[in-house]
C-alpha cells in the first residue's frame, strides 16, 4: 500500500498524512488540510446514525461514526473533527480523523483520503503552510520541531517560549528599531533641501548603539540556549589511568567504558547520554593526555583535544594518589581557557598530591574530591556539573536563542550596524550608511521570515516528519 502513495503537487492542494508515530497504539490521527478537506471528509465518513455529514457541520465539534471504503464497507470506527479556517493549525480548513491505532488501519484510511482527492503531505508541510499563511513566523515554526525533539524540561521550556512568540516579539521590536533608523536616513536622502544631513547625528548614533546593545545581549544567550536545546557536551579529560572511564561508568550507572589497570586503554572518544535533573548531558570519555605518547595514542589524544574545543564543560581529572607530573601540567595548559571543574579522583587511596600547587594553577575553579570506585563524592560532582551547564550566566533569561541560524543572522546584523555606525562617525553620506542599515534589517528579518528563499524553507521543514 505504501508504494502507491505519491507525493508532490501545488501548495493549493488539499494534503493528507498520518500525524501520529508509526507502529501500534491506542489511537491514530490522520490529518487533512486545504480547501477540499471538508469535501473529502464527507466523501468517506458516515455518522453513527448512518447519515452523512451535513452542510451545517459545526467547527471544533467531534463527530462519531465510521469510515467507509469506496465500495461502502466499514474500514474503522472514527471520530472526526473540523477546524474551520483560519482558526486551525495551518490557517486552512483542517480535518482530523481519529481511528484505532493500528498501522494497517491508519494506512488504509490515509489511502482512502488520497483516493478521495487529497495528496500526500511533504515533511513539515502542515507547519510550512501555517508559516506561509501567516499564522506563525519562521522562528515559531522552528520551535515546533524543537518542542517535538525536546529531551529535557529546560529544552521544552525554551522551545515553548519561542513557540509562543517571545523571541519573535523581541526580534520584531528590533526590526522596527532598525526600520526607524533607515526611515530617518531615507528622509535625509529624499529631501536634502531640508538640511537633514546628519543634523541628528548624535541621536542616530544613540539609536544604532541601543540596537547593537540589545543584539549583543541576545547573542550572549546562545551558549545557554544551545545547551538547553541540544544538551551539554561534558568532556572527561585527564592523563592516562586517572579514572576517566571509571567515572564515566559511575555517572552512567552501568559498565559502559572498558576499565583496566593499564594506561592507555581508552584510545578513542566514547559518548553516552545521561540526564541531570532537567537537562540533557552528552558525556564524553577521552583518551589520556600525556607527553610522548605512543603512535597509536596520538590519534586518540588529538581527538580528545578536538572534543575539548567543542565541549561546553571540561571535567578535569587528577589522581590524588600520585604527585603532579608533566602530564598533569600539560593538562593544565590545555584546559586553561575552558569552562571547567577540577576533580581529585581516587580518594579511596592514600593521598600523595600537593593540593596547594594545584589550587594556585586552578584559581577560581571548583575543586572536588571523589572516588569513582566507591562513588564517594559522586552526587556532589553531579551537582557541580548541573550548576555549570544549567545555571550559566544567561540561564535566567526569559528570551534565549538556541539555533546556529539565529546566532549567525544576529552576528551579521551586528556587523552591518557596526559598519553603519563607523560611517556615521566618519561623516559619510546617508546613502553609504543606509546600505548597511538595510543589510542589517534583511539579516534580522530573515530570522522570523520577513524575507526568505525557498531553499531556506526546504532546509528548515525537511527536519520535520510527515504529518507535522
Number of separate domains in the chain: 3
pLDDT (mean) for 185-211: 75
**Same-domain check for residues 356 and 440:** no
Distances in whole angstroms, Cα of residue 37 to Cα of each of 47, 95, 155, 289: 17, 6, 34, 62
- The DSSP annotation for 181-240 comes to HHHHHHHHHH-GGG--TTTTHHHHHHHHHHHHHHHHHHHTTHHHHHHHHH-EEEEEEEST
The larger pLDDT score, comparing residue 393 to residue 426, is at 426
Same-domain status, 408 and 357? no
CA angle, 17 then 451 then 224, to 5° = 80
Residue 214 shares a structural domain with residue 276: no
Mode of pairing for the β-strands spanning 367-369 and 313-319 = unpaired
At 121, the pLDDT band (50, 70, 90 cuts) reads very high
Q: What is the mean pLDDT of residues 437-462?
A: 90
**367 and 236 part of one domain:** yes
User: 102, 132, 162: which is the final residue of a domain?
Assistant: 132
Tell me the CA distances in angstroms from 333 to 4, 23, 291, 328, one per residue in order: 61, 52, 12, 9
Show which of 77, 102, 132 is a domain's final residue.
132
Rounded to two decimals, what is the model's pTM? 0.81
pLDDT in tens, 308-328: 888 999 999 999 989 888 888
Does the pLDDT of residue 331 top 90, yes or no? no
Beta-sheet strand order (sheet of 279-285): 270-276, 279-285, 232-238, 313-319, 340-345, 367-369
**To which residue does cell 536545546 refer?**
229
Asked if residue 341 lies in contact with residue 386, where contact means CB atoms within 8 angstroms, the answer is: no
- Predicted local confidence at residue 6, as pLDDT: 43
Question: Do residues 167 and 88 both lie within one domain?
Answer: no
Mean pLDDT for 96-100 is 95
* Co-location of 213 and 243 in the same domain: no
The answer to whether residues 42 and 171 belong to one domain is no
- Which domain range does residue 420 map to? 151-221+401-448
- Asked if the structure places residue 226 within a domain, the reply is no
Residue 91 in any domain: the answer is yes
User: Using N-to-C axis directions, what is the helix angle for 201-219 and 404-425, rounded to 10°?
Assistant: 160
Between 426 and 302, residue with greater pLDDT: 426
Length of the chain: 468
What CATH code is carried by the domain that includes residue 208? Answer: 1.20.120.430
Distance of CA 416 to the CA centre of its chain: 26
Q: Are residues 163 and 209 in the same domain?
A: yes
Q: Looking at the structure, do residues 249 and 383 belong to the same domain, yes or no?
A: yes
Q: In this structure, is residue 192 part of a structural domain?
A: yes
Which of 73, 101, 132 corresponds to the end of one domain? 132
Residue 199 has a pLDDT of: 46
Same domain for 416 and 351, yes or no, is: no
Note whether 444 and 171 are within 8 A (CB): yes
Q: Are residues 372 and 332 in the same domain?
A: yes
Residue 74 is part of a domain; what is its CATH number?
A: 3.30.1360.120
Tens of pLDDT, residues 137-183: 999 999 999 998 887 888 888 899 999 999 999 999 999 999 999 98
Considering only residues 255 and 13, tell me which one the structure prediction assigns the higher pLDDT. 13
- The string of pLDDT tens digits covering residues 236-268 is 988 888 888 889 888 888 765 444 454 544 456
More confident residue, 370 or 194: 370
**pLDDT digit string, tens, across residues 359-387:** 777 877 888 999 988 999 999 999 999 98
Residues 330 and 383 in one domain: yes
C-alpha cell recorded at residue 116: 478521495
- Of the candidate ranges 48-57, 192-201, 285-294, the one whose mean pLDDT is the lowest: 192-201
Statement: residue 99 has pLDDT above 70: yes
Name the DSSP class of 404.
Answer: H
Task: For residue 191, name the pLDDT band (cuts at 50, 70, 90).
Answer: low
Amino acid at each position: 500500500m505504501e508504494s502507491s502513495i505519491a507525493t508532490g503537487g501545488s501548495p493549493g492542494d488539499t494534503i493528507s498524512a498520518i500525524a501520529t508515530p508509526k507502529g501500534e497504539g491506542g489511537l491514530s490521527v490522520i490529518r487533512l488540510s486545504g480547501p477540499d478537506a471538508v469535501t473529502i471528509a464527507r466523501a468517506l465518513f458516515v455518522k453513527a446514525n448512518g447519515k452523512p455529514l451535513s452542510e451545517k457541520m459545526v467547527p471544533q465539534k467531534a463527530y462519531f461514526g465510521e469510515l467507509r471504503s469506496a465500495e461502502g464497507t466499514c474500514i474503522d470506527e472514527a471520530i472526526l473533527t473540523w477546524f474551520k479556517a483560519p482558526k486551525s493549525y495551518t490557517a486552512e480548513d483542517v480535518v482530523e480523523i481519529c481511528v484505532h491505532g493500528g498501522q494497517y488501519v491508519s494506512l488504509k484510511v490515509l489511502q482512502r483520503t488520497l483516493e478521495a482527492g487529497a495528496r500526500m503531505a511533504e515533511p513539515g508541510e502542515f507547519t510550512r503552510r501555517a508559516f506561509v499563511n501567516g499564522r506563525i513566523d519562521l522562528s515559531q515554526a522552528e520551535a515546533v520541531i524543537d518542542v517535538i525533539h525536546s529531551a529535557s524540561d529546560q529544552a521544552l521550556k525554551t522551545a515553548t517560549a519561542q513557540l509562543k512568540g517571545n523571541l519573535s516579539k523581541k526580534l520584531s521590536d528590533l526590526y522596527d528599531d532598525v526600520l526607524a533608523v533607515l526611515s530617518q536616513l531615507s528622509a535625509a536622502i529624499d529631501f536634502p533641501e531640508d538640511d537633514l544631513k546628519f543634523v541628528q547625528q548624535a541621536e542616530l548614533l544613540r539609536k544604532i548603539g541601543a540596537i547593537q546593545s540589545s543584539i549583543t545581549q541576545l547573542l550572549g544567550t546562545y551558549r545557554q540556549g544551545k545547551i538547553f536545546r541540544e544538551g551539554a557536551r561534558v568532556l572527561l579529560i585527564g592523563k592516562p589511568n586517572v579514572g576517566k572511564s571509571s567515572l564515566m561508568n559511575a555517572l552512567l550507572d552501568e559498565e559502559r567504558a572498558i576499565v583496566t589497570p593499564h594506561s592507555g586503554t581508552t584510545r578513542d572518544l566514547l559518548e553516552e547520554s545521561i540526564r541531570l535533573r532537567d537537562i540533557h548531558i552528552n558525556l564524553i570519555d577521552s583518551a589520556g593526555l600525556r607527553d610522548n605518547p605512543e603512535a597509536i595514542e596520538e590519534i586518540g589524544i588529538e581527538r580528545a583535544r578536538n572534543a575539548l574545543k567543542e565541549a561546553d564543560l571540561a571535567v578535569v581529572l587528577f589522581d590524588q594518589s600520585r604527585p603532579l607530573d608533566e602530564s598533569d601540567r600539560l593538562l593544565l595548559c590545555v584546559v586553561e581557557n575552558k569552562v571547567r571543574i577540577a576533580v581529585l579522583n581516587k580518594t579511596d587511596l592514600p593521598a600523595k598530591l600537593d593540593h596547594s600547587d594545584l589550587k594556585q594553577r586552578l584559581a577560581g575553579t571548583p575543586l572536588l574530591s571523589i572516588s569513582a570506585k566507591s562513588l564517594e563524592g559522586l552526587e556532589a560532582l553531579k551537582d557541580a556539573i548541573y550548576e555549570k551547564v544549567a545555571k550559566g550566566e544567561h540561564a535566567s533569561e526569559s528570551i534565549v536563542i538556541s539555533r546556529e541560524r539565529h546566532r549567525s543572522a544576529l552576528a551579521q546584523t551586528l556587523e552591518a550596524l557596526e559598519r553603519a555606525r563607523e560611517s556615521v562617525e566618519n561623516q559619510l553620506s546617508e546613502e553609504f550608511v543606509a546600505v548597511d542599515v538595510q543589510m542589517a534589517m534583511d539579516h534580522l528579518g530573515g530570522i522570523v521570515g520577513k524575507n526568505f528563499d525557498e531553499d531556506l524553507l526546504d532546509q528548515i521543514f525537511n527536519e520535520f516528519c510527515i504529518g507535522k
